[in-house]
Amino acid sequence: MLQKFNPKNKDLQIYVKDGIYHRDEAKVSVFDSIVQGGDGVWEGLRVYNGGVFMLDRHLNRLMNSAKAMHFANIPTREEVTKALFDTLKANEMTDGVHVRLTLTRGEKVTSGMDPRLNDMGCTLIIVPEYKAPVYDNESGISIVTSSTRRNSPNNLDSKIHHNNLINNILAKIESNVAGADAALMLDNYGFAAELNGTNVFIAKEGILYTPHADACLPGITRGLVIELAHENNIECIEKNISLTEMYSADEVFSTGTMGELTPVKMIDGRAIENYNNTDLTKRLTKAFESKVAMYCVPIS
Ligand code: PMP
């Protein structure tokens, strides 16, 4: 499921700092904090049928992350929204689009770690691309447990959606080497936290479980799936989940903007076998699809 270059993205128009440029011209300074320290926060968003899915929740998380990082001169929600809509309009994009939106601490007066060296305001980067959900949600994915732990609040709070993705990249390398599609990352206690780029749920005897949002990103798709479970009278419990519970679950699926809801078929060589014949993944996928239009903010 390795993504390939899509020729439809050949002439992308990309927002950087104060304007929109052809992808060949869109550049950040070598003095930008994102280059020097991965010092930025980001959101992945999806565009469906003329609207941006759950824009408010993405903006909330972006703003909360920028505040936790103590950024100065953070653009307003209105400014970010305008830049996003302008960029989508410049590309005439209305559907089948994934947007990588990054907000960095900005350019530094000289190289160095100190955020006081950033006196030029934040850099906003908006990269929209034609991109279908990255996983085949019919056939599902196989995952392996990674030896790299997901950050917990006692090292780097996973509630900040920051660009320091090395843990997750190392985990992804482990899954690549093992020939799997994604890595399952554990927390400091050895409980499941999430996959390297998505959250995770299991179902057992008709009840849905997901790890507490302590050592995982509080994903927007995760949040919606919990809401949809309640709406559909499916009990959903946030708890510590051990590897044994993962292996013996009836159903396992991942959630995220990049893949929506994706069944997990294999974990560490153990096939996920649904002895209780439950259909929570299917029901929640349908419920998710039925809500997409309702949660899209029209591009204006
Ligand atoms: N976990 C990680 C580590 C992620 O990077 C992402 C997506 N950015 C998610 C989970 C899924 O979050 P969301 O549902 O908000 O896309």
Q: Which top CATH class is 141-292? A: alpha beta
Cα separation of 74 and 52, whole Å?
Answer: 21
Q: Please give the CATH architecture assigned to the domain spanning 8-130.
A: 2-Layer Sandwich (3.30)
Cα separation of 262 and 265, whole Å?
Answer: 9
Q: Can you spell out the DSSP letters for 169-236?
A: HHHHHHHHHTT-SEEEEE-TTS-EEEESSSEEEEEETTEEEE--TTSS---HHHHHHHHHHHHTT--E
pLDDT value for 263:
98
Percentage, residues of the chain above pLDDT 70: 100
Look over the chain and give the mean of its residue pLDDT values, rounded to a whole number.
97
Check if 223 has its Cβ closer than 6 Å to any atom of ligand 1: no
Rg of the Cα atoms in the chain = 19
Q: At which residue do the structure tokens 């798709």 appear?
A: 221
Check if 198 has its Cβ closer than 6 Å to any atom of ligand 1: yes
In angstroms, how far is the first alpha carbon of the chain from the final one?
Answer: 34
Check if 194 has its Cβ closer than 6 Å to any atom of ligand 1: yes
Cα separation of 238 and 208, whole Å?
Answer: 9
Atom of ligand 1 nearest to the CA of 199: 10
pLDDT value for 42:
98
At residue 295's C-alpha, the angle toward residues 294 and 296, to 5°, is 100
pLDDT value for 137:
83
Cα separation of 300 and 88, whole Å?
Answer: 10
pLDDT value for 172:
98
Q: Report the helix count and the strand count for the chain, using DSSP H and E.
A: 7, 16
Q: What is the mean pLDDT of residues 114-136?
A: 94
pLDDT value for 123:
98
Q: For atom 11 of ligand 1, which residue has the closest CA?
A: 256
pLDDT value for 288:
97
Cα separation of 276 and 50, whole Å?
Answer: 40
Q: Which residues pair with 195 in a beta bridge?
A: 184
pLDDT value for 1:
76
Q: Are strands 270-271 and 192-195 parallel, antiparallel or unpaired?
A: unpaired
In this predicted structure, the answer to whether residue 182 has a pLDDT above a threshold of 90 is yes
For the packed helices 220-231 and 280-291, what is the interaxial angle rounded to 10 degrees? 110
- 211 C-alpha vs ligand 1 centroid, how far in Å? 14
Q: What is the mean pLDDT of residues 139-150?
A: 97
- 186 C-alpha vs ligand 1 centroid, how far in Å? 15
How many CB atoms lie under 10 A from the CB of residue 270?
Answer: 13
Atom of ligand 1 nearest to the CA of 57: 15
- 76 C-alpha vs ligand 1 centroid, how far in Å? 23
- 82 C-alpha vs ligand 1 centroid, how far in Å? 23
pLDDT value for 136:
84
* Ligand 1 pocket test target in 217, 227, 260, 291 with most atoms within 8 Å of CB: 217
- 283 C-alpha vs ligand 1 centroid, how far in Å? 21
- 274 C-alpha vs ligand 1 centroid, how far in Å? 26
The structural domains of the chain, with segments of one domain joined by +, span 8-130, 141-292
pLDDT tens digits, 218-230: 999 999 999 999 9
pLDDT tens digits, 214-263: 999 999 999 999 999 999 999 999 999 999 999 999 999 999 999 999 99
Q: For atom 12 of ligand 1, which residue has the closest CA?
A: 219
pLDDT class of 138 with cuts at 50, 70, 90: confident
- 285: helix, strand or coil: helix
Cα separation of 157 and 216, whole Å?
Answer: 9
Q: For atom 8 of ligand 1, which residue has the closest CA?
A: 44
pLDDT tens digits, 28-43: 999 999 999 999 999 9
pLDDT value for 143:
98
- 260 C-alpha vs ligand 1 centroid, how far in Å? 10
pLDDT value for 235:
98
Give the burial class of 149: count Cβ atoms within 10 A of its Cβ; 0-12 exposed, 13-18 middle, 19 or more buried. Answer: middle
Q: For atom 10 of ligand 1, which residue has the closest CA?
A: 198
Intrachain domains 8-130 and 141-292 with the same fold: no
Check if 256 has its Cβ closer than 6 Å to any atom of ligand 1: yes
